[in-house]
Amino acid sequence: MGFYSLCVMDHLFQLGTQYGIIHGPVKAPMLEGYSTIAYLAGLTKRINLGLLVTCNFFRHPGLLVKIVSTIDVLSGGRAFLGIGAGWFEREAKGLGFPFPSIRERVERLEETIQIVKLM
């Protein structure tokens, strides 16, 4: 089809229509992003795959690097990492993740980026 890349959201709950019409109803299924792009990597041959913005506090930094690098190797170098500090408090608390202040989330993001570069 000629597309260069395909991104999926890194949300574990649906956002609901209050966040825009492109999001599904709150009760609709929301697939985990890295599992989804791993599946898509097996169905495609050329398109680059990633999460539009990975929520930094959903996965431990070392595990995140292993997940992305595994998909990258298995897809022949087509995975990429986009990452952010996270913002959706209801989702975080609903899944038992701590939801620190924006300052702490940004500090953790900076630390994760350093770990990604080292690994």
Mean pLDDT of 84-94: 91
**For residue 24, which phi and psi values (nearest 5 degrees)?**
-80, 170
Q: Which one is predicted more confidently, 50 or 22?
A: 50
Is the predicted pLDDT of residue 106 greater than 90, yes or no? yes
Q: What 3-state class would DSSP assign to 15?
A: coil
With 0.85 as the threshold, say if the pTM is over it: yes
Q: What is the pLDDT of residue 26?
A: 75
List of domains in the chain: 5-118 (3.20.20.30)
Q: What is the pLDDT of residue 17?
A: 62
Q: What is the pLDDT of residue 20?
A: 61
Closest CA to 30 of 68, 58, 60, 63: 58
DSSP string of 30-95, one letter each residue: ---HHHHHHHHHHH-SS-EEEEEEEEGGGS-HHHHHHHHHHHHHHTTS-EEEEEE----HHHHHHT
Q: What is the pLDDT of residues 38-76, one digit of tens each?
A: 999 999 999 999 999 999 999 999 999 999 999 999 999
Q: Which one is predicted more confidently, 94 or 25?
A: 94
**For residue 79, which phi and psi values (nearest 5 degrees)?**
-95, 145
| Structure letter (DSSP) for residue 21 | T
